[in-house]
Structure 1
Amino acid sequence: SMAALPYQEIFAASPATTRGQGTTISVDAKGEKLFYGCGRSVIIRSVSNPLSAEVFTEHAKDVTVAKPSPSGAWVASGDASGVVKVWSLDNPEHIIKFEAQCLGGAIHDIQWSPDSQRIVAVGDGKDSFGRVFMWDTGSSVGEIAGHSKKILSCDFKPVKPFQIATASEDFQVTLLDGPPFKFAKTLKDHTKFVNCVRYSPDGTKYCTVGSDMLGFIYDSASSSKIGELKGHKGTIYACSWSSDSSKIVTASADKTVIVWDANTYANIGTWSIGGAKPATEDMQVGVAWVPNSNQIISLSLRGDLTYLDAASPGTFSRVIRGHNKNVTALTTDPKKGLIVSASYDGLVNKFALGQAEGYSLQGKWHTNAIADHAICGDTLVSCGLDDTFRTADLSKMEVVGESLSLGGQPAGLSLSNDGQLCVIATNKALLCVRKQGTAWKIASSTPISFGASGVSLSPAQNEVAVACEDNKIRIFSLAGDKLSPAQELAEHHSSVTKVAYSPCGKLLASGDVGKEVILWDAVSKSVKTKGMTFHLAKITCLDWSPDSSKFATGGLDSKIIVWSVEGGPNKRTVLDRANVGGVTAVKFLSPGQLVSTGADCNIKVWVV
């Protein structure tokens, strides 16, 4: 069972992947939780209910691997700087019990001894490519020797006598006997990188897979090769055993997953990921067989987690999607309970409350980061740093129409309630983009000499407020498509980052780089509440609840603050460490439900 989480559900970050190498995903001995890294976080995700997940955020560098101990009490995680941390799994605080600089370079794999006492960690380094140690004291219990290049994978034989196997970019597999562990033997059957080595749960065999598209099975006692897995047409990145040691699953760059009989070495099931026309991103780079089940979870280069049933070759149970790059834009459809998010790699995902699966937008979208987007009905309107405006049909998750050049870099957009007018602030102009039939056209362009970082269209469509880098909020009156400067509000003492009219149209809220939030009377333009400086860093985002009773701000301090209009600054709710590394967007789904996202790639739904 997961600890009581502060958020209602989480569309968790998907695993971080790297082109040309495998990514380790792990499942605990009970088959309940999936472990992987994304950015500086370890994601601990329920296998059966992926909307339930915890996030461990104590690494200073990108997490490369996380493995639960056989006992289920601890997790060992490694990062890109060579640090390994051991922390408690069952405690919601995930208290760190041990940490050490294990290698000079990135950790690639970690494994626990079957008694949960020792850890082997391998990867890259100057003087050493691996370490084996007692996890409670860090004292060494042998030497990982025998390789001339970085080690990509390691495993501990799950039964006595103990043995460690390591696989490397030097095309070799090395066996070490112990403790204390000493070099015993080198296997040279692979002709390219050996990407993964795994012992069978009963300890009688082990499997190695490589970039030579082959898998080999060895007898543990003699280390003699007893079988070959032939049939993949690309690099094999990962392998995993069924609990009864009778089958092995492999994941390959050929965009397939194959289940093999571990005694006859026959292919007994193939899954082709990505359909008839798979993309490069459909390469399979990691795989985990869920213990005591027929369930297999495979990872694509894109970050998709595909659930397979070993008993039903070719069919998919579910595909869990997410972001593994910084999420830059977020919008919601409160009526349908939808969340649409976009990350700086241009990926757009649609999620529905209570459904873990998610859908990704198909077709030619922005070529780089998405600055802002909004929904009206089934239409998504979006502006990106490729300086274009684009639209999509959310019901089909397909791009609609041509892209529109904005002639400058957009900072933000604001869409009218009827979905017919979109106001966009760029580094050169304020644009009124209007829907004409099925197409969108620039109806007016008002040149600006100030830097704009946010924009809001009043609900009555008669006014536009612009958050400006020169500490001002500029109000423009809007008649048809004509914008005219009306007023300058000069109460902020630093660059204004975001501004938003309340849905009722009577209020205006703004936030700045200097951590201050101001609430204005939108009609008289007088200050209603000042001195709302409870963030610890720049305010990055702001949104109103649909009933105009409260608004939320998010900051680079990873906090979200929900402000009550009537209660003033003292009536505030603070969500600490909401999105570690910085909150990039907050959006209400209902007066009591708020969605947030940020640098950690997680999308969280909060009850406020």
Structure 2
Amino acid sequence: MSENDISVEDRELFFEGHTDSVNQLQLTSDDKEFITCSSDFTIRIWDLATYGLKKVLKGHTHEVLSISLSQYDDILISSSKDKTIRVWDLNQYTDEIFLTNSFSVSFVLLSKNLKYIAGSSANGEIRLWSFYNKELVFFLRGTFIEIYALVFTPDDKHIIKGSTHTFIEIWKISENNQIPMIKLHKKYAGCISLSRNGKYLASCINLYCTKNSIMVWNFPDDHLEAEFEYYYCEIKDLIISPDNNYVLASMSEGSVQIWSLITKTLVKVLVSQAEFKCNLAITKDNKTILITGKKNVIIQPWSEDQIQTKCYLNAMWSSVNCLALTSDNTYLISGHDDYTLRIWDLIKKTQISSLDGHISAVLSVAITADNTKVISSSFDRTIILWDMKKKVQIAVLKSHIFAVYCLAVYHNKSFAISGSEDKTLIIWDLEKHCEVKMLEKHTAGIYCLGISKNDEIAASASFDCTVLIWDLITGECKHKILNYWMKVNSLEIVQDNSLVFAWPKNGFLCVCDMNNNLEKGFGNANTSYLKLLSDEKYLMCGFNDAIVYLWNFNQNKITHNFMGNTKQVLSVVIAKNINQVISGSYNGTIYIWDIPSDQIPPIQSLQHSGHVKFLKKTHDKNILISYSDDKTIRMWNKQEKCLKIIMKGHQDCINDIKITEDKKFLISGSSDYTIIIWSLPEGILLNSLSCNGEQVLCIGVDNKNQIFVSGEKSGNIIVWDLDGRKKIDKVNKHAKGVSKIGISKCDNFIYSGSCDDTLKVWNLASKEEYLNVDWKHKLLSSLALSQNNKYLLAVNEIHQVYVWKIRYF
């Protein structure tokens, strides 16, 4: 059942929030309400204290692109793709069309004294109209480059515009001419923000390069007040706090960075996970930050005493290839491109020694469990064992014939294992300084490895795009985990002997059950290095964009990110009992961060976020059931117009749900590789069925409450025993994901539609196909068999119906 089958009244029950992208937000002057505009043609007014919807303003007939609020919160203006500008009286909730254009105004702005309305269009033209008589009083011809920023000065005498391809321009409205500002005039600005008192003007330009900066100018005096650098990301919006103490920027990678104008430093990075335009607002007390998401507003509490503390150690521009930390968190060992190892006192934050012995770059380093020895490997093909206390070499181990990229020490005995470009793993006895065993199976150089806590299992990743699992007792290869087209960047083995690894294909991190050879992807990143925290709930990731993330992979989300590196992160290590993360980067800088526990979880101003879908026919005629990208299923009472039950259990978006014929169970399939069976009407989670690393796109139920089927992204169709909660059969009928599936009334036939543009009908028992046709009629919306099973009916996204006769009949 598609959402188009739901009445307008029923849709209003679900969509307290916007149903399309949120394009802009405005806070009222008393911080009690905020207003949003959306591509769903509406403007909505919200209560900030309760996060509840107060009023929906309807009038525009196309996407609402921009809004601007008067100084006293009584007048709101809006612009839309319907080519109108509307004026709203917020006391009476009435509106009138201010003017109709032959073009869309993409950004609109109301002056404080209600004298002017300013508007910019996509071709770069700027117009000012008199608010009272609607006359055009100012026109600036366009450069066919969109204006991304437009502000009035507090006295409403000047207007400032910014664009990524033109300089900042300041125009005097009364004279219709540009004011020369010596320094400001020669700066580009993709985003600009003027403080409320007009003292500071913040600007930035989003260039696709490693390093960018935010410039904060003392506007009256025309001099640079501060410059804040940021790396490897793009700024979506930029604001100055009402008290002029902070500059806030929403970043393309999903964070909000906060800089202090007092200390001229980055003080906090908030993880917002916002998508799309990421417009910002902050309350006068600096305690609440609002960020527009794709279809919602994220309300993030913040306190000024929440600061990101960090310090750094400088290795003089010698790339930090690897890091290791003593178990008591006293000493840090770093390996460098200049052939050295360096020992750092973490308490005093100073270097205490440099170890020389390698004749090429140091690639990996580890410390024995008793903290007495350090072992390092190098591009020079050697492994060196060092005395930690005396800072001298103990032995040089030579068996590899090419560079030794990785090594790991055993947790419970004095052994180590190394991996080399020569395709071999070697187990070493660190007491006897000799080779114990050589493991050979890879067909290319070994790039990284990990070892289990009980020293019985090792995992190695190679340039041959495989990960091999080894039995360290017998020396045999137990499993080949994957064989894809890209090498694994980094891996770790957790306490239960499952494997976590960074795999750049499609930007996923993965978790593998090494016993069952199952794989689950999570996250989305270009990961160069990863480490597990001690409780193995959190994963610390070093990314190629110089940002370090703390990832909760049980909840599949980022909880913190750490910024400060200006070059690619090459190594990460964690001081577990004091909650610090340490990263080493390409430019030789080692950063030490405290892991904060102070970010209050954000609140979303939506009942049900994501693309909501519905089941109209449920176990009760008064109940509607919705499911969404927000990972929940919700039951709504139509008569009482209220939410009854929220069903939580999935860890990723829910793609389909079905109710069994006897109305006792609801079955849901998700991108989290599981199917969940829920009881009705209670909504209790009864069983979670693993789909072996396959995303479930659709569900079909039979007429006798005995079996159900699921369609997977790989093209497989799984037949399940409903009573036994187990898999009965697996059939591959399609080359790509199965988007629609069902079971005939007689339970003899399965019908399915796929992303490979085929529709099929086949016998459940014999697997014989009775219909196999191409689908070339836009997106498949629904699929069904006729009551007599003689015809297959398909509907596309524009409601065209196609019918095929099944040859069996």
Give the TM-score range, shorter chain.
0.5 to 0.7
Q: Secondary structure of 2:37's match?
A: coil
What do the CA deviations read for 1:341-386 (whole angstroms, capped 9, x no partner)?
xxxxxxxxxxxxx977252414334433x32212221322222334
Q: Which amino acid aligns with 2:489?
A: T
Selected match of 1:537 from 468, 479, 486: 486
> Could you tell me which of 529, 543, 549 is aligned with 1:603?
549
Label 1:432 to 1:28 Cα distance change in 2 as closer, same or farther (>3 A): farther
Matched residue, 2:664: none
The residue aligned with 2:421 is 469
Distance 1:217 1:405, change over 3 A: farther
Q: Are the counterparts in 1 of residues 444 and 462 from structure 2 also a CA contact under 8 Å? A: yes
288, 291, 297: which one pairs with 2:247? 297
Per-residue CA distance 1:528-554 (angstroms, 9 max, x = gap): x31322766322211122x35433122
Is the 8 Å Cα contact of residues 469 and 497 (structure 1) preserved in structure 2?
yes
- Mapping of 1:36-435 within 5 angstroms? 71=37, 114=67, 115=78, 117=80, 156=107, 158-159=109-110, 162-164=118-120, 185=140, 198-200=150-152, 205-207=158-160, 217-220=170-173, 222-224=175-177, 240-242=192-194, 244=196, 246-250=198-202, 257-258=216-217, 260=219, 265=220, 288-290=238-240, 294=244, 296-297=246-247, 307=258, 313=262, 318-320=267-269, 357-368=308-319, 370-376=320-326, 377-395=329-347, 397-402=349-354, 404=356, 406-435=358-387
Deviation digits for residues 79-103 of structure 1, max 9, x if unmatched?
xxxxxxxxxxxxxxxxxxxxxxxxx
| CA drift at 1:166 | 11
How many percent of aligned residue pairs carry the same amino acid?
10
CA contact (8 A) 1:387 1:407 kept: yes
Q: 1:515 to 1:569 in 2, by over 3 A?
A: farther
1:569 to 2:516 alignment: yes
- Deviation string, structure 1 residues 482-507 (Cα, Å, up to 9, x no partner): 3x233221233443322222232232
Question: Is the 2:401–2:422 Cα contact (8 Å) retained in structure 1?
Answer: no
For structure 2, the residue ranges without an aligned partner over 5 or more in a row are 1-22, 29-34, 41-64, 68-77, 83-100, 111-115, 130-135, 205-211, 272-304, 555-809
Deviations 1:548-606 (A, max 9, x none): 543312222233332346xx134x45134x24345543434323333333335451412
Q: Is the 8 A contact 2:379 2:404 kept in 1?
A: yes
Structure 2 distance, partners of 1:588, 1:254, is 33
Match of 2:436 in 1: 486
**Could you tell me whether the CA contact under 8 Å between 1:307 and 1:317 is conserved in 2?**
yes
Structure 2 counterpart of 1:554, from 497, 502, 505: 502
CA distance 1:400–1:174, shift in 2 (3 Å): farther
- Report deviation, 1:248: 3.5
Separation in 2, partners of 1:467, 1:479: 20
CA contact (8 A) 1:251 1:286 kept: no
Instruction: Report the AA paired with residue 422 of structure 1.
Output: V
When residues 385 and 29 of structure 1 are mapped into structure 2, their CA distance, relative to the original with a 3 A threshold, is: farther
Q: For 2:530 and 2:102, how far apart are their aligned partners in 1?
A: 47
Per-residue deviation, 1:410: 2.9
Q: Which has the higher contact order (CA 8 A, sep 6+)?
A: 1
**Whole-angstrom CA distance in 2 between matches of 1:359 and 1:478:** 36
Give the residue type in structure 2 aligned to 1:560.
L
Instruction: Write the deviation string for residues 287-344 of structure 1: whole angstroms up to 9, x where unpaired.
Output: 9325767563268xxx99873577xx5587824499xxxxxxxxxxxxxxxxxxxxxx
TM-aligned CA distance change 1:161 to 1:583, over 3 Å: same
Q: Go from structure 1 to structure 2 and tell me whether the alpha carbon gap of 1:251 and 1:70 turns closer, same or farther (over 3 Å shift).
A: same
- What do residues 153-200 of structure 1 show as CA deviations (whole Å, max 9, x unaligned)? x99452475544999xxxxx985789xx9x95589xxxxxxx996422
* Residue 585, structure 1, aligned to residue 536, structure 2: no
Instruction: Report the equivalent of 1:506.
Output: 456
* Paired residue type of 2:414: N
Alignment match, 2:757? none
Name the amino acid aligned to 1:517. V
CA contact (8 A) 1:242 1:292 kept: no
Q: 1:286 to 1:396 in 2, by over 3 A?
A: farther
Matched pairs, number: 408
Aligned 8 A contact 1:552 1:586 in 2 = no
Question: Are the structure 2 counterparts of residues 217 and 235 from structure 1 closer, same or farther at C-alpha, using a change threshold of 3 Å?
Answer: closer
Distance 1:543 1:445, change over 3 A: same
Return closer, same or farther for 1:417/1:156 CA change in 2, 3 Å cut-off: same
Taking the aligned partners of 2:544 and 2:380, their CA distance within structure 1 comes to 28
Asked if the contact 1:375/1:381 (under 8 Å) is kept, the reply is yes
Q: Deviations over 1:210-257 (max 9, x none)?
A: 9xxx987533454345x787899x979788445757553346999984
What TM-score do the two structures reach when normalised by structure 2? Answer: 0.41
Letter in 1 for 2:321: A
> Counterpart of 1:512 in structure 2: which amino acid?
S
The question of whether the paired residues in 2 share the 8 Å contact of 1:298 and 1:306 is answered with yes
**Structure 2 CA distance for partners of 1:580 and 1:256, relative to 1, 3 Å:** closer
Q: CA RMSD in A?
A: 5.5
- Aligned counterparts of 2:325 and 2:24: Cα–Cα separation in 1: 40
Q: Look up the equivalent residue of 2:25 and give its one-letter code.
A: A
> For the residues of structure 2 that align with 1:280 and 1:579, how far apart are their CA atoms?
21
Q: Return the alpha-carbon distance in structure 1 between the equivalents of residues 337 and 79 of structure 2.
A: 49
The CA distance in 2 between the partners of 1:434 and 1:459, in whole Å, is: 18
Tell me which residue corresponds to 2:539. Answer: 594
Give yes or no for the alignment of 1:525 onto 2:475: yes
Q: Quick one: distance in 2 between partners of 1:246 and 1:500?
A: 56
Deviation by residue 1:44-88 (Cα, 9 ceiling, x = unmatched): xxxxxxxxxxxxxxxxxxxxxxxxx972669xxxxxxxxxxxxxx
Distance 1:221 1:289 in 2: 27
| 1:29 and 2:25 aligned | yes
Q: Measured at CA, do residues 535 and 271 of structure 1 come closer, stay the same or move farther in structure 2, by a change above 3 Å?
A: same
Quick check: 1:457 aligned with 2:409? yes
Q: Distance in 2 between matches of 1:28 and 1:398?
A: 48
Structure with bigger gyration radius: 2
Counterpart contact for 1:217–1:228, Cα < 8 Å: yes
Distance 2:405 2:467 in 1: 15
Deviations 1:436-482 (A, max 9, x none): 54x744433334413332211222453221223343222232226x3
Residues 607, 258 of structure 1: alpha-carbon distance in 2 compared, 3 angstrom cutoff: same
Q: Which runs of 5+ in 1 are unaligned?
A: 1-26, 33-68, 75-111, 120-139, 144-153, 168-172, 188-194, 323-353
